[in-house]
Amino acid sequence: MKQLNLKSLPLPALTLALTLAAPAAAAQTVSLTLPDAVTRALASGPDVTTARANLQKAQANLKATQADPSAIITTLTQAQQGAATAEATLAGTKLNVAQTVVTQYVAAFEAAGRITLNQAQVALDERNLQIAQARLKARVATQLDVNRAQTSLGQNRQELADARAQLPVLEAQLTRTLGLNVGSDLKLTAPPAPPKLSTTLAALQGGLEKRLPTLVQAAQGAEFAALQVRIADNDYTPARTLSDARTALANAQRDLEGAQRGAGTGVRDAYRTVQDAQQKVDLARQQAANAQTALTQAQARLKAGTAAAVEVQQAQVQAQQAQFGVTQAQDGLWRALAALSVASGTDVTGLVR
């Protein structure tokens, strides 16, 4: 095979040849915290960018309409409502994006923790299999004991393989949401402890028609229908027009009331989910403390010669499992807080700026 003579190539071809010959660039390493990830998505995410542009457009239209002396009241009202809707949509979009980032971030971080836990479990199963085989050889155990150890080891090896396969998928989802380069190497810091829910249910349920985009639009529909009734309620407009306007108003008011009931129920359910998640965190922390105490006791017995090393290894894995349970419970609380934020139109995560 002939060697490529770079000296004989024109400049563009030489540049291309050198580019193709260069080794592939190393994957970009990105270190993230949960607050950083949310901030990044809110600053440059496509959904937020679009909602922000729509708000600017609606505000410009309102300003132009207000400056137009010939604009009639219905046109002005529609412009005002359009700006209010765009503002509520932007706020709602931010909360939705934050929920997506929270969900994807904790899922990826949890998957990495599961790999570590599964590795420890596999190591313990390998040790238990060795012990079972030694006991069988010494004729103090049966082949069934060995088979059980082998089955446990096989199951946990498969779980480890599944966890390793899942992690890059979850990281890729988060990478896309944050607008990072494909193949970026994410280094995720443990999410901070979720904040305590200090807002009352009544406070979150109040004023939903001013915060939730769907309720804002429903309230505006009722408001505009009422305006149409006032415009038609005179002696120079046909009675049928007034009757139709009143019917439209009644329908709009029923739609608003139904939307308000549904939204209130959604907030109540999401609030209860947060309360349940907080209780699960407290319980998981207590279980982790108990597992750590058991580990300390096992280590003391090993030092005193009254326990085997495998017993300490077992206690270590159990402590890891309990600590992973804390991580899962906290992640569940983060997800619940993000869902409540979306349902109420009020950020209770402390992540949305």
Over residues 162-208, the pLDDT tens digits come to: 999 999 999 999 999 998 888 888 999 999 999 999 899 999 999 99
What pLDDT sits at residue 26?
54
Six-digit token string for 161: 């393989």
Mean pLDDT value of segment 254-273 = 96
Residue 281: inside a domain, yes or no? no
What pLDDT sits at residue 179?
87
CA distance 267 to 208: 10
Residue 248: inside a domain, yes or no? no
Mean pLDDT value of segment 12-26 = 44
Residue 134: inside a domain, yes or no? yes
Among 167, 170, 131, which residue's Cα sits nearest to residue 148? 131
> Domains in the chain: how many in total?
1
Residue 214: inside a domain, yes or no? no
CA distance 263 to 344: 8
Residue 318: inside a domain, yes or no? no
Q: What is the CATH number of the domain that holds 100?
A: 1.20.1600.10
Residue 111 sits in which domain range? 30-60+68-191
What pLDDT sits at residue 21?
42
Residue 36: inside a domain, yes or no? yes
Over residues 132-164, the pLDDT tens digits come to: 999 999 998 899 999 999 999 999 999 999 999
